[in-house]
Structure 1
Amino acid sequence: MTRPPTAAQRRVIDAADAVTGRLKGTESQLAALVRHGLAFRHPRPPHAHFLTPAGHRIREESSRQAAEAAGPAPPGPGAAPPDTSGVFAARVGGEDAPEAGPARVREVHSAWQGLLELRRMTTTDGVVDRPCAWERTHLVQAAALTLEAAGHRPAGAGSDAGGYRVRATPQPEAVAVREPDAGALRGCAVTLEKAGWQVSEHAEPRTGARYLLASPRRS
C-alpha cells in the first residue's frame, strides 16, 4: 500500500463484518482496496471481498480511535458501561463483564457462524475443520471465540476467579489456555482439537499448575 485509504474507502472498511471481514461497497471501491492490499476477492462464486490482515488492522485502529473520541458514557444505576468499539470481542477471561445472558449467547453464536463461513470462503477446498488466515493473525481472539461458542465459561475479574483464560505466548502461533479446574481444562482441549487446533498440556515449572498450549492446525 502506497497511501492511506480515502474517506470513502475507510467507510467501507469500517462497515466490514467484525468477525469475517466481509466487505460491501461499489466495484470501484472494492477494486481499489484490493489494489492497496487491504482486501482480496474470493476466487469462488459469489466472489465476495474480504479484508486482508492489513485491512483488519486499519478497521481495528479506527474502532479504537472512535471509542477514545467518544469517551466513557455514564452508566445508569447498576448498568455496565456500553461497548463503544463496535467490534465483537470474545471473552478471553479476566474481564469485568456481566454473566452471559441470552443476548450474549446469540452474539457469540452469530460470531462463530461467521467464522465458520470465513473458513469456508477462504480455504481452497472449502473446509471448515481447520483455522483460517484470520485466526492465525488473531490467535487469542480466535481461541477464545472457539471456547466461548462451545459453552465454556470465561474467568471473571480477579486472579482467583474460576473459568478459562486465553493469553498470548512468546511462541509463534501459540496461545496458552489456563483453567484451574482440571476437568474443565481437558474439556477446553477437546473443544479446541475438534475446531482444528493442535493442543498439548504442560505444567508451570514453579507452581505445577497445568495449562494448554494451542496452535492452529495447518492440515
Structure 2
Amino acid sequence: MTREPSASQRRVVRTADPESGLLQGPAPALAALVAQGLAVRHPRPPHRHYLTAAGRRLRDRLDSEPLQLVPPPVPGPATAIGVFRARTGMEDGAADGSPDGSAEDPQRAREVRSAWDGLLEMRRVTNPDRSVERPCGWERTHLTQAAALALEAGRCRGYLVSESAQPEAVRVDGPDSAAYTRALEQAGWQTSAHADRRAGSAYLLASPRRK
C-alpha cells in the first residue's frame, strides 16, 4: 500500500462483507484498492472484488476508530472536530440533566440529522436485505454511540447511555424512559425495563434488533 486510502475507498473497505470480504462500490474506488494491495479482483466473471489480508487489517483498524458520519467542516475560525460523536450524557456540562442540548442549538440539530441520515445509508449499504429499519454491523460494535445517536435523533433529553454487563446491550438511565423506549424502538432497537434496587431507580437495557 503506497498511500492512505481516500474517504470513499475507506467506506468501501468498511462495508465489506464480514465473512467473505466481498466489496461493493464504485469501479474507480475498487480499482484503487486493488492498486494499493487492499483488494483483489477475481479473474472469473463477474469479476468481483475481495479484501486481501492487508485490506482486512485496514478494516479492523477502521472499525476501531470513531465513524465519520458527516464530512469535516470547512476550516475556519470556529472549526469543530469533523468526526461526529453522539452525546451520551457523560460529557462535561451534563449535570443539568439535558446532555444533548440539540433542541436549542440549530447547528447541532443539523449535525444530528446529517449523522442519522448517514447511518441510515450505512444500513442500506451493509445490511444484506438493504433494510434501513434494522441496525447494521457498525452499530453492534459501537453500541454506546449508536444508541446515543438514536436517542439524540429522537430529540430525547436527560438520558445517560453507558455500557452494561449484558452482551450487545447498553444501559439507558434518565427521567423519561417512555420517550427513550419510543425513540430506540423506532430506530430498530429492542428495550426492556429494569429496576436498580441499590439506586432506587429504573433503567432500560437496549440492544440492536436482529430481525
- Whether the 8 Å contact between 1:38 and 1:54 is mirrored in structure 2 is no
Please report how far the alpha carbon of residue 147 of structure 1 lies from its aligned counterpart in structure 2 after TM superposition: 0.5
CA distance in 1: counterparts of 2:6 and 2:200, whole angstroms: 49
CA distance in 2: counterparts of 1:171 and 1:130, whole angstroms: 20
Please report how far the alpha carbon of residue 124 of structure 1 lies from its aligned counterpart in structure 2 after TM superposition: 1.7
State the match for 1:36 in structure 2.
53
Q: CA RMSD in A?
A: 3.1
Please report how far the alpha carbon of residue 170 of structure 1 lies from its aligned counterpart in structure 2 after TM superposition: 2.1
State the match for 1:103 in structure 2.
107
Matched, 1:88 2:118: no
State the match for 1:214 in structure 2.
206
Task: Report the residue type matching 2:160 in the other structure.
Answer: R
Change (3 A) 1:164 1:140: same
State the match for 1:134 in structure 2.
138
CA distance in 2: counterparts of 1:203 and 1:118, whole angstroms: 34
Residue by residue, what CA displacement relative to the aligned partner does 1:113-157 show, whole Å, maximum 9, x if unpaired? 11111111111211111111010000000000001011112xxxx
TM-score (norm 2): 0.68
Matched, 1:165 2:155: no
TM-score (norm 1): 0.65
CA distance in 2: counterparts of 1:129 and 1:202, whole angstroms: 25
Partner-residue secondary structure (3-state), 1:111 = helix
Unaligned runs of 5+ in 1: 1-5, 40-50, 62-75, 154-162
Please report how far the alpha carbon of residue 38 of structure 1 lies from its aligned counterpart in structure 2 after TM superposition: 4.2
- Whether the 8 Å contact between 1:12 and 1:23 is mirrored in structure 2 is no
Residue by residue, what CA displacement relative to the aligned partner does 1:84-133 show, whole Å, maximum 9, x if unpaired? 4x311000112126843111111110110111111111112111111110
Matched, 1:144 2:161: no
State the match for 1:47 in structure 2.
none
Q: How many residues align?
A: 168
Partner-residue secondary structure (3-state), 1:213 = strand
2:6 to 8, 12, 20: 12
